[in-house]
């Protein structure tokens, strides 16, 4: 089942569900957040709850997308309670690069490895424990809260002081926190973990800065388990031309960590188990146009698609006017 949210022409929010090509409004569902929290409270699966609620009118999702009426597939009424986070160095890449990376990291002298390669090797060696215990913790980063979220089809607004704006095609886990602090997974979606790779390249310790950029996910949430082998496509369009197109792989078959291990190392922190909060946690990627020498420009459109996740995720890159690169942000004393 795929879940999404749209605005009606009158501005009301509707929850949309589909299995296959036909999409319908879910009766009595105020939002995906409300639906998920009700299921968490009552110990019920989302698909079962939707089956009981039943369906309303059919919806043309593609048309709603074109009209700009698709919103992020889960939102929080207070954006400060929606958290955008992620992990890196978690993917093995294609079969060929996986073997090459594995051999390189396993044979290299420990003293010659960069911190990134050490982290990758740690994941290969300990990211998939077989004993049901926590494995090695991954790289982790913070992207912001709901104020940093761009809806499907909306612009990814990069600050004017940024050095670059580049896509990261990823799978995100979508979570709500129950009344007792228990995390519940709603499902999985496509995500663009938009980042500043030029800034990151200056110094790896700039990684935290480079991640403080907007992100987008959706348009639909896949309810249920993540397929072991996810195969999608990431592309960039400039004007009428496609300037970059490359497959990306995800799912545990292409990762050095289990999803459960990545979830554990995020939600082990009490700050991320606050009742009613929403978490969008991105699991990393092995495909970047930046790594292939592509330099993006404002106006470029990023498109990420993978068959299990329904509609493709599209966002253009825009630049906010302030603060400018040389504009000093002054703090006022009280």
- Asked if 183 and 281 count as a contact pair (C-beta separation under 8 A), the reply is no
Handedness of CA 251, 252, 255, 260 (dihedral sign): positive
Q: What is the mean pLDDT of residues 185-214?
A: 94
Q: Phi/psi class of residue 103: alpha, beta or left (left: φ > 0; alpha: ψ in -120 to 50)?
A: alpha
Place of tokens 């319908």: 24
Cα dist. 189→74, 192, 221, 299, 315 in Å? 11, 10, 5, 24, 15
pLDDT in tens, 74-98: 999 999 999 999 998 898 853 333 3
Distance (Å, whole) CA 5 – CA 22 = 15
232-274 tens-digit pLDDT: 999 999 998 999 999 999 999 999 999 999 999 999 999 999 9
Closest CA to 173 of 279, 261, 291, 332: 279
Mean residue pLDDT of the chain comes to 92
Distance (Å, whole) CA 106 – CA 110: 9
Q: By C-alpha distance, which of 327, 274, 323, 313 is closest to 78?
A: 274
- What was the pLDDT predicted at 109? 62
Asked if residue 147 has pLDDT above 70, the reply is: yes
Question: Which pLDDT tens digit goes with each residue over 87-141?
Answer: 988 988 533 333 343 355 555 566 667 777 888 888 888 899 887 789 999 999 9
- Residue 103: per-residue pLDDT: 54
pTM to 2 decimal places: 0.93
The fraction of the chain above a pLDDT of 70, given in percent, is 94
H/E element, 306: strand 301-306
Angle at 224 between CA 39 and CA 95, to 5 degrees: 150
301 contacts 316 by C-beta, under 8 angstroms: yes
């Amino acid at each position: 089942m795929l879940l999404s949210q749209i605005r009606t022409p009158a501005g009301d929010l509707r929850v949309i569900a589909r299995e296959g090509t036909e999409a319908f409004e879910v009766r009595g569902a105020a939002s995906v957040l409300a639906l998920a929290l009700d299921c968490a409270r009552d110990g019920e699966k989302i698909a079962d709850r939707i089956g009981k609620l039943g369906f309303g009118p059919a919806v043309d999702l593609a048309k709603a997308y074109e009209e700009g009426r698709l919103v992020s597939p889960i939102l929080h009424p207070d954006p400060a309670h929606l958290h955008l986070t992620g992990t890196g160095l978690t993917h093995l890449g294609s079969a060929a690069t996986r073997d090459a990376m594995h051999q390189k990291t396993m044979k290299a002298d420990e003293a010659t490895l960069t911190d990134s390669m050490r982290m990758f090797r740690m994941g290969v060696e300990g990211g998939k424990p077989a004993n049901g215990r926590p494995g090695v913790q991954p790289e982790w980063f913070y992207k912001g809260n709901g104020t940093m979220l761009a809806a499907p089809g909306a612009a990814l607004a990069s600050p004017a002081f940024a050095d670059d704006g580049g896509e990261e095609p990823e799978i995100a886990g979508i979570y709500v926190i129950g009344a007792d602090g228990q995390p519940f997974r709603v499902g999985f979606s496509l995500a663009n973990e938009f980042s500043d790779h030029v800034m990151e390249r200056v110094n790896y310790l700039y990684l935290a800065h480079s991640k403080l950029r907007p992100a987008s996910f959706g348009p639909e949430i896949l309810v249920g388990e993540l397929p072991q082998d996810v195969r999608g496509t990431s592309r960039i369009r400039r004007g009428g031309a496609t300037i970059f197109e490359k497959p990306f792989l995800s799912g545990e078959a292409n990762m050095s960590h289990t999803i459960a291990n990545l979830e554990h190392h995020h939600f082990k922190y009490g700050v991320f188990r606050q009742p009613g909060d929403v978490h969008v946690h991105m699991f990393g990627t092995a495909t970047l146009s930046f790594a292939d020498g592509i330099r993006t420009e404002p106006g470029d459109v990023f498109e990420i698609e993978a068959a299990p996740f329904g509609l493709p995720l599209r966002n253009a890159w825009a630049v906010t006017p302030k603060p400018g690169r040389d504009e000093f942000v002054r703090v006022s004393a009280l």
